[in-house]
Chains A and B, each alone.
Chain A
Amino acid sequence: MRIILNKDVQIIPDSISIDGLLEHLNIEIKYISIEVNQKIVPKSEYDTFNLKENDNVEIINAVGGG
């Protein structure tokens, strides 16, 4: 299915959980924050939160800054 991930279109497996998405993208669940349709999903819900077609997903982390 199609989602928007960090502003780009991504095709990912259907009905995948956030945990599944992170595995699919090879991203470690550490020091990240995820929003789906502008709402933060707590890490405790990553395994049960299933994504839907056209969801807008943002994966955020900390980078160097002043």
Chain B
Amino acid sequence: MPKLTINDKSYNSRLIVGTGKYKDLTETKQAILNSGAEMVTVAIRRMNIGQDKNLPNLLDYLDPKIFTILPNTAGCYNAKDAVRTCQLAAEILEGEKLVKLEVLGDDKTLYPNVTETLKAAEQLVKDDFKIMVYTTDDHIVAKELENIGCISIMPLASPIGSGLGIQNEYNLLTIKENSTVPIIVDAGVGTASDASKVMELGCDGVLMNTAIACAKDPLLMATAMKKAVESGYDAYRAGRIPKKFHASASSPKEGNVCD
């Protein structure tokens, strides 16, 4: 299977997973291992002061030497906060500047605030960050973000955590058609078929968190998602048959014993 290249690094897996909403760090790690993901997202937050020094840190479980850690700017509602969060993330990760930029518009839909996202992207590119950017499924905005210098565009399939799957596949197709950087569909995947569908459309990868972490059996769902992404991508490369209105028999007419 062709590898996915992001920020000059090649990945066997086209599935990127989040690390939020799991029962504990043991489950987080096992789900990630089952998913086969090599890149994982994390959030940047104030430390819980007073916690036991011996309590494991997320990054003790997910060694940055093994996994590519993709810090996000979740919870930021303006460009200034997003830029600050990326700077904090780079300091946490010893100068690594690969980030997932997301600037949200409101609490209810968690829809991207495109104006602030563009502003933040411009500043972060100047500061030499490598930006994978969460955005709407609007190809005009996607192209603007690419032109600013974002290294991957990550349009939503549907709102974060909604599990509604792809709401407008034609928008995703148009984004893919117009882009020269990897398109990773981020947010809205509910189950394995959604992930397969994303890949069957020709997108370069999928990012998900809730669909795995909040499944009844997160570890099994992580395995299912791994297979779904691989199957969808293989099906895309194999080339599906055209849809036809009428049937087309699979068995030969010649030699039919029923005539």
Contacts and interface: CB of A to CB of B under 8 A. Distances in A.
Contact of A62 (B18, B22, B28, B58): B58
A25 B91 CA distance: 20
B46 A66 contact: no
A34 B46 CA distance: 10
A40 B85 CA distance: 11
Interface size band for B: 35 or more
Interface string A32-65: 1111000010110000000000000011111111
B18 A65 contact: yes
Interface stretch (B68-76, B168-176, B198-206): B68-76
Interface of A is mostly: strand
Interface residues of A, number: 27
Contacts of A62: 42-45, 57-59, 69, 71, 89, 92-93
Given A33-B89, A43-B91, A59 B28 contact: no
Interface of B: 18-22, 28, 41-47, 49-50, 53, 57-59, 69, 71-72, 74, 87-89, 91-93, 160-161, 207-210
26 contacts: A5-B49, A6-B46, A8-B49, A10-B49, A27-B47, A27-B53, A30-B57, A31-B57, A32-B47, A33-B92, A35-B88, A43-B91, A59-B46, A59-B47, A61-B45, A62-B57, A62-B58, A62-B69, A62-B71, A62-B93, A63-B44, A64-B22, A65-B18, A65-B44, A66-B20, A66-B208
